[in-house]
Structures are given as structure tokens and as C-alpha cells.
């Protein structure tokens, strides 16, 4: 069996949910995540939100976004990344690190909170709406790694 590089799978999954599953030869799951990403993206107008955010048009980004659909995106996104990374580790015959899920779960939580508040924060003109959930992922992953570190340290 050809060696899979989990970090490579992780990066492809970050680029687009479902690509990591495709690399792992999990074609049905990969197609499912790609389809789910497409549906959520279209229904929430996420690409227009991203476009307007990068152009500095925060009001337009907020107005075009369907937040009821956008709230699904962080959990689907982070789960697709986690699942593909975990399966790549397992396909190599390795045991996954303990508490591996924590950074992904906390990243999803914090990003979802970022989505919730991205249209209400009054300073969104300085931080475009798309960047608030992205910042939530970064903070959430860092918090998850910290909690994981504490749990590993004190569970010995």
C-alpha cells in the first residue's frame, strides 16, 4: 500500500472539503462533502460574502449572506478536514494521537460563533465579515491544542 501523507491530505481538505477524502480513496464521502460544500456555499451566498469582504465592501457582504445557511459551513468544513486527516493516519497503520479531535471541534465552535457575530460587530468595517469566522477557526484551533496539551499532561 502506498504511504499517505496526512499533512498533505490535511492541506487539500483545507483547500476544499472533500478533496482529502478523494486523496484517501474515499470517493463517495469525498463527493458527499464536495456536494455539501457546494450546496451550503450557494444557499448562503458565501462566495459573494468572500468577494465583497476582500474588496472591503463589508455592508454588501453582510447583506448578501444567508446566515441561516452560513452557520452550517464551519462544522462541515472542520469535520471534513478532521475526518480526512484521521483516515490518512489510520491508512498508514498508525494510531491517531490522543484527543486529536479537540483542535478541530473547538475550531468549528469558535468559527460558528464568528459567523453568528460577523454581521453584528460594529467594527466590521475594519474586520470584514469573512475574516471574523476565519479568525474564530484560528483562535479555536489554538484553544483546542491548549486544552489537548493540558489533558495529555494531566492524564498521565
- Is residue 6 very low, low, confident or very high in pLDDT (cuts 50, 70, 90)? very high
User: How many Å apart are CA 80 and CA 24, to the nearest integer?
Assistant: 12
User: How many Å apart are CA 48 and CA 16, to the nearest integer?
Assistant: 17
* pLDDT for the residue 153: 92
Residue 27 has pLDDT above 80, yes or no: yes
pLDDT in tens, 59-74: 899 999 999 999 999 9
Question: Taking Cα atoms as reference points, which of 88, 69, 83, 65 lies closest to residue 17?
Answer: 83
**pTM score > 0.75 for this model?**
yes
* pLDDT for the residue 45: 95
**Virtual CA dihedral for 37, 42, 47, 49, nearest 10 degrees?**
-120
User: How many Å apart are CA 53 and CA 64, to the nearest integer?
Assistant: 11
Residue 53 has pLDDT above 70, yes or no: yes
Residues 19-25, mean pLDDT to the nearest whole number = 96
* pLDDT for the residue 126: 74
pLDDT in tens, 92-151: 999 999 999 999 999 999 999 999 988 887 655 578 889 999 999 999 999 999 999 999
Amino acid at each position: 500500500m502506498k504511504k499517505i501523507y496526512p499533512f498533505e491530505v490535511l492541506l487539500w481538505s483545507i483547500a476544499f472539503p472533500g478533496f482529502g477524502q478523494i486523496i484517501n480513496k474515499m470517493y463517495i464521502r469525498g463527493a458527499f462533502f464536495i456536494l455539501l460544500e457546494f450546496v451550503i456555499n450557494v444557499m448562503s451566498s458565501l462566495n459573494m460574502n468572500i468577494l465583497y469582504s476582500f474588496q472591503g465592501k463589508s455592508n454588501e457582504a453582510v447583506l448578501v449572506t444567508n446566515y441561516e445557511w452560513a452557520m452550517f459551513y464551519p462544522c462541515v468544513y472542520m469535520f471534513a478536514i478532521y475526518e480526512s486527516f484521521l483516515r490518512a493516519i489510520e491508512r498508514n497503520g498508525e494510531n491517531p494521537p490522543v484527543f486529536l479531535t479537540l483542535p478541530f471541534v473547538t475550531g468549528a465552535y469558535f468559527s460558528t460563533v464568528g459567523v453568528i457575530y460577523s454581521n453584528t460587530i460594529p467594527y466590521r468595517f475594519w474586520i470584514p465579515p469573512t475574516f471574523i469566522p476565519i479568525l474564530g477557526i484560528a483562535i479555536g484551533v489554538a484553544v483546542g491544542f491548549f486544552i489537548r496539551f493540558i489533558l495529555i499532561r494531566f492524564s498521565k
